[in-house]
Amino acid sequence: MPRWRRECETVDSKTKNPKSRAQVDALLRRAFAGVGLASHASAVRELKDGWFNAAYEVTLADDRQVILKIAPPPGAEVMRYERDLMATEVATMRLVHANPAVPVPAVLYHDDSATLCDSAWFFMEKVPGDNLDHVRASLTPVEAEGIDRHLGAILRELHAFRGEWFGYPGNAALRAPAWRPAFLAIVESVLEDAARKAVQFDRPAHEIRAFVDAHAPSLDEVREPRLVHWDAWDSNVFVARGGVCGLIDFERALWADPLMEAPFRALSWTGVTDAMRGYGKTTFSDGEQQRCWLYTLHLGLVMQTECAYRVYPNDDILVQARRMVGRALDWLAVHA
């Protein structure tokens, strides 16, 4: 759980602190024309799947259920690419909501005024269905294939949104007119974040930079910025009736190469998947393979670095990240 999650006093659903309930009630009344919090004890329930924002399922006095998300408090130490993530999430969800083929919940109210809460916050629709991470093990192979293909098709629709530059909406220093300089700046920012926390990768940073530089020409093949969710793992996908009914957590969205999308990471491990088939992408050129491995390396670097910025309950993420970085560097070394 992030350090700042406990520092934020806006909500404490475990202790049922009356002051905290009063604060949630105040947020609701501002957002929903005076309708406040339901009186029962479970009216505020913490959602623990996320690791950045605090998230809560909230029941209004009129029995509507909505989701409240609260950003880290001002001054919380985050990685450079994580700046202004809530503003990115809200803007991206509102943009994407224009395409009904992408099942994104509606943003119901957003407030970054710091008047009722020290942090930015927003309410969104509660997504129906089940979290895919929670139910995948119970799916039949046919059901899993259908859902994965549907997710691939949704991401293809998402990538139809075109941008004017590459990089992150929340950090102008991590943007560029072309993809190569944008991606190199993004990787460098992670390495700098790691150095600031004395994170030790299994290879020195100068070797990592050398491998990235050796394959950087493949980045020049990407000519048009497309909207990329980047975090479309099972935990951010909701399913019902054999298909995807919700895609959440757009906070890390950026304008990038569609191959940076999470399901394409599987190419580095298992080859072509049902999600890729649903997307309509089953063959990969040499340059595309290089980029997929570069994006796998980037993800591993992010995951290992963020372990120093979070308080995770165990070393599972660290172990996975080191394995990811190691395999990516091995592939990039052989194919340099």
pLDDT at residue 17 greater than cutoff 50: no
CATH class of 130-334: alpha beta
> What type of residue sits at position 143?
E
Q: What secondary structure does DSSP assign to 97-121, as a single string?
A: TT-TTS-PPPEEEEE-S-SSSSS-E
**Domain boundaries, given as residue ranges, for the chain:** 3-125, 130-334
Mean pLDDT of the chain: 91
Task: Count CA within 13 A, CB hemisphere, residue 98.
Answer: 8
Express as a percent the part of the chain with pLDDT over 90: 81
What pLDDT, on the 0 to 100 scale, is given for residue 15?
Answer: 36
Sign of the Cα pseudo-torsion (246, 106, 295, 258, in order): positive
- Block residue for tokens 């919940």: 105
Q: How confident is the model at residue 11 (pLDDT cuts 50, 70, 90)?
A: very low
What length does the chain have? 336
Q: How confident is the model at residue 314 (pLDDT cuts 50, 70, 90)?
A: confident
CATH class of 3-125: alpha beta
Q: For the residues 67-86, what does the mean pLDDT come to?
A: 91
Q: What confidence tens digit (pLDDT) does each residue in 185-220 have?
A: 999 999 999 999 999 999 999 999 999 999 999 999
pLDDT at residue 8 greater than cutoff 60: no
Q: What secondary structure does DSSP assign to 294-329, as a single string?
A: HHHHHHHHHHHHHTTTS--SSSHHHHHHHHHHHHHH
| Cα dihedral 227/152/326/299 (nearest 10) | 30
- Give the pTM: 0.92
**DSSP β-bridge partners for residue 227:** 255
DSSP 160: T
